């Protein structure tokens, strides 16, 4: 568990909010271990508002863990994660940062949404039911409002005619698009995508990627995207971070890094992936 931090820089960071625009997401020396295995090692990462960051790297390098920490599905062992200047896993109390309680986490987490590799749709609800569940019970929208908005979102992902179908009656690509609509319905400022096309048959990958492109066009949302689709990363992301062994090994503008990597490890990885 995380101890109280008396690092004054960390505390002022929280108060900084009004002076300059803070990054939308900041990882400050975040370490995550599973037992003896160090998955993230004192990681620093800033993501600007509306920035789209693609995260690539070999299996086991800690990409999912990064997103899961930000979604509060895991808790860091050390370090602080900030969302627009506000600490997420910690909270200020008497001028110190102490481990956050459930209330604090839920308030800050409100701004983050996530799309999973295996969709995790609620199997006992229709497509529309999946999309309106949290807006009604978490945001407190009226059913009417939630349905109107839910239908708009299903329209956007091209599935409004499937609104009453159960997930088991949808294809993988359709399920993933419903999951994207479900996440968008919470109006997140930050969206996390963890290999959202990896579980799909090749012919279904395109429809999901174009849905993500469309979100990029129509919404101002900061995105962290773990992906193996290098073509998509190159054309869609502003920046690419190459992860290896729990560290950012190399990062830079997407086109530059993907066409002309500097680090030998990045070169080897890209060579292997692109063949």
- If residue 102 lies in a helix (H) or strand (E), which one and from where to where? helix 102-109
Closest CA to 263 of 240, 230, 232: 240
Q: What is the DSSP string of 103-153?
A: HHHHHHHTTEEEE-TT----TTS-HHHHHHHHIIIII---HHHHHHHHHHH
What residues have CB less than 8 Å from 274, skipping those under 6 apart? 230
Whether residue 137 contacts residue 168, with contact meaning beta carbons closer than 8 Å, is answered with no
Using rule CB under 8 A, residue 101 touches another protein: no
Report if residue 197 touches ligand ATP, rule: CB under 6 A.
no
Return the range that interacts with ligand ATP (CB under 6 A); candidates 1-9, 34-42, 150-158, 163-171. Answer: 34-42
Q: Does 63 bind ligand ATP (CB under 6 A)?
A: yes
| 169 near another protein (CB under 8 A) | yes
Q: Which of residues 64-123 bind ligand ATP (CB under 6 A)?
A: 64-65
Show the site string, 108-127: x = touches another protein by CB under 8 A, - = not.
-xx-xxx-x-x-xxxxx---
Q: Which secondary structure element, helix H or strand E, spans residue 216, and what is its range?
A: helix 202-218
The span from the first CA to the last CA of the chain, in angstroms, equals 42
- Cβ 235 to Mg ion shortest distance, Å: 22
Binders in 64-83 for Mg ion, by CB under 5 A: 64
The values of phi and psi at residue 119, to 5°, are 65, -55
Interface map 214-233 toward Mg ion (x if CB under 5 A): --------------------
Which parts of this chain interact with another protein (CB under 8 A)? 71-73, 106, 109-110, 112-114, 116, 118, 120-124, 133-134, 137-138, 166-169, 179, 182-183, 186, 192
Which parts of this chain interact with ligand ATP (CB under 6 A)? 34, 37, 39, 57, 59-65
């Amino acid at each position: 568990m995380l101890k109280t931090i008396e690092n004054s820089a960390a505390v002022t960071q929280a108060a900084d909010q009004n002076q300059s625009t803070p990054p939308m997401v900041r990882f400050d020396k975040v370490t995550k271990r599973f037992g003896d295995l160090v998955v993230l090692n004192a990681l620093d990462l800033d993501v600007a508002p509306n920035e789209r960051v693609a995260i690539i790297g070999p299996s086991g390098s800690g990409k999912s863990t990064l997103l899961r920490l930000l979604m509060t599905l895991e808790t860091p062992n050390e370090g602080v994660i900030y969302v627009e200047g506000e600490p997420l896993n910690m909270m200020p109390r008497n001028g110190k940062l102490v481990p956050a309680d459930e209330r604090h986490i839920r308030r800050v987490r409100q701004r983050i949404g996530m799309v999973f590799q295996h969709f995790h749709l609620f199997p006992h609800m229709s497509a529309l039911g999946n999309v309106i569940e949290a807006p009604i019970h978490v945001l407190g929208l009226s059913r009417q409002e939630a349905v109107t908005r839910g239908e708009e979102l299903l329209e956007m992902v091209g599935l409004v005619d499937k609104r009453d179908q159960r997930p088991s009656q949808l294809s993988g690509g359709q399920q993933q698009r419903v999951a994207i609509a479900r996440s968008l319905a919470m109006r997140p400022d930050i969206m996390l995508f963890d290999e959202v096309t990896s579980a799909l048959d090749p012919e279904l990958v395109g429809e999901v990627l174009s849905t993500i492109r469309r979100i990029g066009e129509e919404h101002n949302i900061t995105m962290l995207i773990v992906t193996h689709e290098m073509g998509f990363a190159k054309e869609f992301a502003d920046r690419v971070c190459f992860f290896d062994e729990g560290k950012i090994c190399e990062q830079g503008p997407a086109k530059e890094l993907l066409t002309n990597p500097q680090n030998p490890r990045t070169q080897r990885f890209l060579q292997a992936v692109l063949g």
